[in-house]
Structure formats: C-alpha cells, structure tokens
A and B are shown apart, each in its own frame.
Chain A
Amino acid sequence: MSVVVENLSFSYGKRRVLDGVSFEAREGEMLCVLGPNGVGKSTLFNCILGLAPAESGEIRVDGEAVGNIGVRELARRIAFVPQSHAPTFNYSVFDMVLMGTTAHVGGISAPGAEQMLLAENALERVGISHLRERGYMQISGGERQLTLIARALAQQSGVIIMDEPTANLDYGNQLRVLMRVKELVREGMTVIQSTHNPDHAFLFADRVLALIDGRVAADGPPAEAVTESLIESLYGVRVKLTRGDDGAIHCHPILN
C-alpha cells in the first residue's frame, strides 16, 4: 500500500506548521522523516492518520483520499505506533495486541477466536510470544515498543506510521526494534517513521524526507538526500559523514 501526500498545508491558528509538503511512500518502503523538534512531523502524521484535517492539499492511501475513508476502513489501511507510554490501566501484553484487531470486528462485537489467532501471530512475528501474559507496565521500554508494533501488525494494515519508535530506548533496544521493523518492510509493509538519529536513517531507511520550517528540504535515498549541510541546517550542529569499511555511511558530530 502506498501513501501519497500532495501539496499538504496545515496551520495551528495563524502559525503555519506544514507548507506545501509533497512526497510519496511506496509499497514495501521505509520512509524516515527527519527534522528538529516542533517542525511538524507529528502534525504530518496526524494528517495522514485522519486525526487532523488537512487545510489544503491531498493525502491518498492506496489511491483513495484519506478524507473519504471512514474511521474503521482507515484503520484497516494505516496503523499507528505511538511513542511507548504508560496507559492508565495495566493490560496484559496479549490484550494490548488484541486491541489492534478491533477494526476487523463489527460495530459492537468483540474480537473472537480468529482475532486471538491474529494477535498470537503478531506476537510471534516480533518475537515476544513469551511476554504474552505479562503486564504491559511490567515490561521494559523496548518490549513495550515491540508490543505496540505487534498491535499494529494485528491490525493487518498495509502501512504503519511510527512516531519516534526508538525514543526513550537504550542503544541495544533501539537497534533491535528497528531491525524488526526492517524485516516487516522486507515482507512488503510500508513504514513511515520519524527519527532524530541520522545514523538510523542511513542504516534502515529506503527514503528520507527532511522537513525544515514545515517545508520539504530534502527527499530521496539516504545516501543522496542526507548531506553534511542538510544536517547542519536541520539541527544546527556540524557533522562529518564518513563511509565505513562495510560501505555504510556514519554521522560524526564535530565538537569544536
């Protein structure tokens, strides 16, 4: 499933947050959105997810405008993985994942045997079946993030949108979570995620979209789109990009 954004603009009151943003996330592609805090990444996601109406421009998922798709149908196409959080009540990991199947059961019915199987499979795919009975509040941040990703899988959508999925995770968990996500992309999932770490974009992204002041500053494969000058204008810090022995590009801050 593809996501096409054309000339999208959005304002909070008089403040323009997104200004003529256009890009495309193709099927089976991981798109990383880079940009400083407050640049409108979350707003962009909210527009794609149908949580905030676009002021002008159009967003199409699988060829259909988001505004014309009902809440349930949209949930079957796009799933959302928020930053790992602490919900009010301590649900079991299994219940948390099972909630993802809600879009597939009718108005007042609850998930049945078929949906429970979907949840089981989703847990297995991200490799956390052993956590199934544990409380969501009792597992680590990385495991919570994997639970939310499993929930998105149980939703059986073609697109997953992730808001900084590795924020608040330790170094190992960041890489483990992103490697799982990359596997899903290889299996045909379209993933759009925001990140602050250029290295993650180099390691995992098929495409990078950089936003500055609500406008697209760069759009393309990471090796072409992400340059030293782009990172400096995004984050106001100087960096050096080097190619390692493995051929991967790494980003080194220049401290003085």
Chain B
Amino acid sequence: MEKKKLRGYSLIIAALGALVVAGIIVSFTLGRFPISPGQLMSALGEKVFGMAKSDALTDQMRAILFNVRLPRIFLACMVGCCLSAAGASYQGVFQNPMAAPDILGASSGAAAGAALAILLELGSKMVMVFAFGASLITIALVMFVSNAARGNKVLRIILAGIMVSSLCNAATSFIKLVADPNNILPEITYWMMGSLAKTKTADVLFALVPMAIGIVPLMLLRWRINLLTLSDSEARTMGVNVTFVRVAVIICATLITAASVSVSGLIGWVGLVVPHLARRLVGNNYRHLLPASMLGGALFLLIVDNVSRNLLVTEIPIGILTSVIGAPFFIWLITRKKDAI
C-alpha cells in the first residue's frame, strides 16, 4: 500500500517534469515573430545534432530562438523553480505555512541594491550584482540581529526579517525620491515590477551558479526539513542537529532567492502558491514536496511568462501577472472544502 502511494507520487513528479519539457518546447514557438514547430525542429537539429543549415530558417529566426527566447525560457524555469523551492523550504524551517521567499527581506534588500545601481547608472550587469550582493548583506544582517535578540528562535528571525526589510524599503523609497523622475525613476519602478523581458544569456549564466549551489544542499537535506517542521526538541531528540540544518537551509534558500530576484526583479506569490499546490498534489513530505514544488514552479512561471509576452501588444511585467493570478488562485486553494492547510 505504502509502495503504491510512493509510486503515485513519483508518477506525479515525473508528469510535472514532462509538462515542463513540453512547456519549454511550446514556448519556443510562441511570440510576436511566428516560428512554426517544424522550423523549431530544424533549428534544434542544426544546433544540437549539427545538421546542415535548413532553408526554412532565416538568420533572424535563429537569433530570436537562441538569443532571445532560449535564455528567457530557461530563466523563467530557473526563477520559478528557485522561488518555489525557497518558499517551500522557508515554510518548513520557520514552521509557518505563510512563509514566502521574501519573508526574511531578501527581496527588499535586492530591490534597494538594484535601485542604488540604477540611480548611479552603473548598467544592467551591475544592477544584477548590486541586487544580489545587497540581498545577501540583508540576510546576513537579519541573522546578526536575530542572534543578538532573545526569545523564540523562529520568531526572532522572522521579526528581524520584518525590521531589516522595512529599513531596506525606506532606503529604496529615499533612492526613488532623489532619482531623476524622467528616466531613472521609471526604470527603478519597472525593475520592481519584475520582468524577464530583457533576459540575455549572460543573465542566465550569472544566476546559474548560485542557484545550483543553493538547490543541491536543499535537495540533500529535504528529508530533515520534515523534522524541523515539528518542535526543535522533537527534531533534536530524533537525532537531527537542528541549528545546523536550519541555518544551512536558510542560507541555501536565501542564496537561490537572491539569485532569482537579482535577475528577474520582484516576482511575488510564486513561492507561496506553488508549494501549497504541490502540498495538495504530493502531501507535506519534503521528499516529494520539494521536487514537486521545483517542477511546478518552473512550469507555472514559464506559463505566466508566455502570457506576459503574448497577451497584449506591450509586454505586461510578470510580477503584476503572478499577483493577478496568484492571489485569487490562493483564495481558491484555501477555501476548497477538501482538507485544511
């Protein structure tokens, strides 16, 4: 019976994986510039299998496929995957089903860093670096403050997160105040809405390393996250080094959040909604929950990004869309009769 259930969960995860692959293929053909599935296949044949250049393709098509759509599709999947993994992990280690990737201020820190770099007109590469750096500094500050504070460990980390992100928001507001309202301010505002519109291959490569460094330990520690959702004394008496696992999970989840936010801007709701959807699909055991969240997040953000770039003539920032889709979806999720959160 138990084996049957496990196989069922593995099937769901495999199905999600297949959907992500199918989603990626379909996404290549979507866009303002029409490229047919046949043309996509010949392009793949050229690029992957070294086949002769096909007459059906123009150089412009190749450029659009490999320099515009490819990085954007991959980044959508990576960011969706990481935000969902971070959300699910935070929910576990903070024993709080409402925890999201920005709970500790990683996003607020990144926003302040990005705003500063935009204000100083350092260029898009430095915006990314500043956002990533500021995000990590913010979390380091949160950990420092929470260590100095007294009382319940989980509570004081969350409180420190709220305070430090509030400081960051103040800094961002100040930067917006002094920014040139004609060109700098709109750019900051646009960055904060979250978008994958200007994705370049370099962005994908920038985010890839910290994401990989963060995801691997989370996958390895995922069984132990289950024990951290119980009380600390229970987890410890079952042989888990609670402090070590919790700090390791927080660092990894923060790393992938910072990497995501620095390349995509603020994309809300993904990290909250997708893990909850995954909980409905495969249960609360992180052994299945974490992979299901990651694949579900990749699929979700890929679909939303397709809507973002195809729905209207001008692109809709993806952060707006995830909120528009995420909030009602979450309400539906928590008001469904079948079992409680």
Contact = CB atoms under 8 A, between A and B. Distances in A.
Interface of A: 46, 49-51, 71-72, 74-76, 78-80, 82, 85, 87-92, 94-95, 99-100, 102-103, 108-111, 116, 120, 132-133, 135, 137-138, 151, 155
Contact of B231 (A49, A82, A94): A82
A120 B3 CA distance: 12
A89 B339 contact: no
A108 B224 CA distance: 8
Contacts of B306: none
Contacts of B237: 49-51, 74-75, 78-80
B152 interface: no
Given A91-B226, A95-B283, A133-B1, 11 more contacts: A80-B237, A88-B95, A89-B92, A89-B229, A90-B340, A99-B227, A99-B238, A103-B239, A120-B2, A132-B2, A135-B339
Contact of A91 (B1, B234, B285): B285
A104 to B, nearest CB: 8
17 contacts: A49-B237, A50-B236, A51-B236, A75-B239, A79-B237, A87-B229, A89-B279, A90-B284, A90-B339, A95-B284, A95-B285, A102-B239, A103-B239, A108-B221, A110-B223, A110-B287, A155-B239
Nearest to A100: B238
A116 B285 CA distance: 14
B12 interface: no
A71 B236 contact: yes
Contacts of A110: 222-223, 287
Q: Which of B221, B222, B236, B238 is packed against the most chain A CB atoms within 10 Å?
A: B238
B238 A102 contact: yes
A85 B234 CA distance: 11
Nearest to A151: B238
B241 interface: yes
B173 interface: no
B284 to A, nearest CB: 4
A89 B284 contact: yes
A108 B234 contact: no
Contacts of B340: 90, 137
A51 B233 contact: yes
Contacts of A120: 2
Interface of B: 1-2, 5, 92, 95-97, 220-224, 226-227, 229-231, 233-234, 236-241, 279, 283-285, 287, 339-340
Nearest to A148: B234
A85 B230 CA distance: 9
B145 to A, nearest CB: 24
A71 B239 contact: yes
Nearest to B6: A116
Contacts of B5: 133
Contacts of A51: 233, 236-237
B251 to A, nearest CB: 16
Closest 5 pairs between A and B when the two form their complex, measured CB to CB: A103-B239, A75-B239, A110-B223, A80-B237, A89-B284
A89 B289 CA distance: 12
Given A51-B237, A75-B237, A102-B238, A91 B284 contact: yes
Contacts of B231: 82, 85
Contacts of A74: 237, 239
Q: Which of A74, A88, A137 is packed against the most chain B CB atoms within 10 Å?
A: A88
B227 A92 contact: no
A80 B2 contact: no
Contact of B1 (A90, A132, A135): A132
Contact of B241 (A71, A137, A138): A71
A131 B116 CA distance: 56
Contacts of A155: 238-239
B18 to A, nearest CB: 24
Given A88-B95, A89-B284, A102 B240 contact: yes
A49 to B, nearest CB: 5
B233 to A, nearest CB: 5
A95 B230 CA distance: 12
Nearest to A119: B2
A91 B279 CA distance: 10
A78 B233 CA distance: 13
A138 B284 CA distance: 14
Nearest to A111: B223
A110 B241 CA distance: 15
B239 A88 contact: no
Contacts of B226: 91, 95, 99
A88 B229 contact: yes
Contacts of B92: 89
Q: Which of A49, A76, A99, A102 is packed against the most chain B CB atoms within 10 Å?
A: A99
B209 to A, nearest CB: 21
Contacts of A102: 223-224, 227, 238-240
Contacts of A85: 231
Contacts of B285: 91-92, 95
Nearest to B3: A116
A155 B238 CA distance: 7
B93 to A, nearest CB: 11
B142 to A, nearest CB: 21
Given A88-B95, A102-B224, A82 B233 contact: yes
A111 B226 CA distance: 12
Nearest to B92: A89
B239 A80 contact: no
